[in-house]
Structure 1
Amino acid sequence: MLFEMSLDEMKKYSGSSPKADDFDQYWEEALAEMKNLDPELKIKHSDFQTDFAECYDLYFTGVKDARIHVKYIKPKKIKEKHPAVIEFHGYGCKIEDWADKLQFAARGYSYFGMDCRGQNAGYSEDRGGVSGNTRNGHIIRGLADKAEKLYYRNVFLDAAQLAGIVMEMDSVDQNRVGVFGYSQGGALTVACAALEPRIKKAAPVYPFLSDYKRVNQLDIDNSAYAEIKDFFRKYDPLHNKEKDIFNKLSYIDVQNLAARIKAEVLMTTAIADPVCPPSTQFAIYNKLKCKKDIIIYPDFGHEDLPGIRDRHYQFFNDL
């Protein structure tokens, strides 16, 4: 990628963005808020069904009173407690078709796919004062307000809350839960495993939402990170508040959460990624203190990566 580091440099890179002095306190208080919630869990059969799995629409109440939607697939013939996997989707998307997820039920796992609050055509709501969903602008939502108002604070908590709900289900073995996702989903995989330490395995693919200061220094105005530069152009053109802005963004910078993870991590990075620069991904990987491995695609960008689904299948095989 133009202007990126060499691979050798990236393998030693630990990030350029700050970490707020009260970062850990911020997240402990956020988790306390989440744990005091009544999730008001509701599970109903979906219109889509198969002969070997039951498909449900699951809803729970997250922080700020938002109702979060999850696709839930449970194998029919497995009566004992069994493993579960949780998936998080990419930026501005939603959890896709049921049929794509049936592989998990076929192997005897329950599957949960969370729609991020207020994004695209998903069914999770964002109680931000307006009806309907949004496509972009989520990184900077709340940036001009208190750090507790940051949009991704709430989404990270949704991910951790869902993991806790899954682990409390009678049919799920709480010691055998894994998480995965691509791009934004990769970032939420990191955040979920960091905020819910009982996660056993995590497989983030080219994770988003990392090392914002580094991102802002690179020439990637056409990516999902462009909103940061746009925020400066409109609200702080002389960068007088740059230090405060990046300090506030540090609360939702997943590289700062990475050291909390206890799960085994299999990370995937594409070296030619123009959307989520690989150096920002290595900033996460190099801060992991858990058992870890990384798959590197030298000639690929932010795209479908051949063989990665098979590797994930094998990685989650011994949940």
Structure 2
Amino acid sequence: MASYVHDFPFDPAHGRSLDELKAVPVPPAPDDFADFWRARYDAARAVATDPEVGPVEDERDGVRVHGVTYTSVGGVRLGGWLAVPAEGAPVRHGFVIGHGYGGRQEPGPDIPLPLPSSAAILPCVRGMGARGLVPGIPDVSAEHVLHGIESRDTYVIGDCVADLWCAASALGELVPELAGAGRLGYLGESFGGGLGALALPWDERFAAAQLTVPTFGNHPLRLTLPCAGSGESVRGYHRAHPEVVEVLRYFDAATAAGLIELPTLVAAALFDPSVPPPGQFAVYNALAGERELLVLPAGHFAYEGLEQDVAGLVAARRAFFGKRPA
């Protein structure tokens, strides 16, 4: 069991061994879980995303990075970045890359493209990041995670999932080689990992996925586990509004993972102050298809050896997608 010196008023490992984490169960789905999400997916696929590409903002690691905007559900215009091979090289693989709950202010120093000859869209979902700001939606995770939570139909998390589907549509329009079934891979970390788990069961365009320290797994258990992340806001809301459990049932990443049949690599942490490890492992445990697990010592936490572990994750991701290119 991972153990680190810290000043959190709780145990970020929640007292569970690896064997215990691998036994975390999956919450049962509401009877209309699939119908709810398929309807949302169909609505997102009907959106005319009208993507627009801006000038080159950076060029590195064999790719050119452009700004990009596209339309998502509700007519919301969102932004992000588009990475394409430099020098007009042909595109063989495509990726949608989600972001964490800190948002995305820039594409970052490393664009995690696991395969050469790849193009990727890095969207900012609504309310998050420099290019996802939307009037009326909080841009702070502790408030964003509660926006519209009173109803499954208004909860912002559902629209954020749709933002990923629309990003995939925009990428397929901008890079026609990537349109169609089985042409894309998905990468998501933390918030982006949880959104990815909710998005993937319904979208045939994705062939493989990698989720790192995914959030939103096993909400009934998460509500009992203190943390330093957005889950603590949900716990506080639940204390005042216990009926919210009925809404959360539709946004459980572990429940959705039980319907993911495409090959999926999950990197889950034994110690994580922001996303309780039992929820992360619940997502992995639920996966219905081919799956691989990479156990991380810690997530959302700086520790000695972190750089080596990040390098190991990058290598594992490359090997995973190399075996089954998207």
Does the alignment pair 1:289 with 2:298? no
C-alpha displacement at 1:78, in angstroms?
Answer: 5.2
Aligned partner of 1:6 among 17, 22, 26: 17
Stretch moving more, 245-254 or 185-194: 185-194
C-alpha displacement at 1:317, in angstroms?
Answer: 2.5
Does the alignment pair 1:109 with 2:115? no
C-alpha displacement at 1:89, in angstroms?
Answer: 1.0
Q: How much is the aligned-residue C-alpha RMSD, in angstroms?
A: 2.5
The superposition leaves residues 27-47 of structure 1 with CA deviations (integer Å, 9 ceiling, x where unpaired) of 122122212222122122233
In 1, are the aligned partners of 2:38 and 2:202 still within 8 Å (CA)? no
Does the alignment pair 1:162 with 2:144? no
Q: Percentage identity across aligned positions?
A: 21
C-alpha displacement at 1:6, in angstroms?
Answer: 3.0
The superposition leaves residues 66-125 of structure 1 with CA deviations (integer Å, 9 ceiling, x where unpaired) of 112121111134554410122111112215345422x74992211221112112x42023
* TM-score after normalising by structure 2: 0.83
The superposition leaves residues 198-251 of structure 1 with CA deviations (integer Å, 9 ceiling, x where unpaired) of 31111101101222221111232x332110122134x43xxxxx2x31110111
C-alpha displacement at 1:165, in angstroms?
Answer: 3.1
Q: How does 1:30-179 map to 2 (within 5 A)?
A: 30-49=40-59, 52-77=62-87, 79-94=89-104, 96-97=106-107, 99-101=109-111, 104=113, 107-119=116-128, 121-128=129-136, 133-144=139-150, 146-168=151-173, 169-172=175-178, 174=180, 175-179=182-186
Does the alignment pair 1:192 with 2:199? yes
The superposition leaves residues 166-205 of structure 1 with CA deviations (integer Å, 9 ceiling, x where unpaired) of 2443243653421112211211232332231331111101
Q: Secondary structure at the match of 1:200?
A: strand
Counterpart residue type for residue 141 of structure 1: H
d(CA) in 1 for partners of 2:205, 2:44 = 16
d(CA) in 2 for partners of 1:283, 1:41 = 36
Q: Secondary structure at the match of 2:229?
A: coil
Distance 1:106 1:191, change over 3 A: closer
d(CA) in 1 for partners of 2:215, 2:229 = 11
In 1, are the aligned partners of 2:114 and 2:318 still within 8 Å (CA)? no
d(CA) in 1 for partners of 2:101, 2:18 = 26
In 1, are the aligned partners of 2:198 and 2:252 still within 8 Å (CA)? no
In 2, are the aligned partners of 1:18 and 1:246 still within 8 Å (CA)? no
d(CA) in 2 for partners of 1:224, 1:311 = 28
Q: Which runs of 5+ in 2 are unaligned?
A: 1-11
Stretch moving more, 30-39 or 203-212: 30-39
Distance 1:97 1:79, change over 3 A: closer
d(CA) in 2 for partners of 1:186, 1:93 = 13
In 1, are the aligned partners of 2:114 and 2:317 still within 8 Å (CA)? no
Stretch moving more, 43-52 or 200-209: 43-52
d(CA) in 1 for partners of 2:68, 2:251 = 26
* TM-score after normalising by structure 1: 0.85
Match of 1:239 in 2: none
Match of 1:210 in 2: 217
d(CA) in 2 for partners of 1:290, 1:170 = 28
d(CA) in 2 for partners of 1:67, 1:47 = 20
In 1, are the aligned partners of 2:114 and 2:321 still within 8 Å (CA)? no
Counterpart residue type for residue 231 of structure 2: Y
In 2, are the aligned partners of 1:182 and 1:207 still within 8 Å (CA)? yes
Distance 1:204 1:77, change over 3 A: same
In 1, are the aligned partners of 2:141 and 2:230 still within 8 Å (CA)? no
Distance 1:164 1:40, change over 3 A: closer
C-alpha displacement at 1:52, in angstroms?
Answer: 4.8
d(CA) in 1 for partners of 2:115, 2:316 = 17
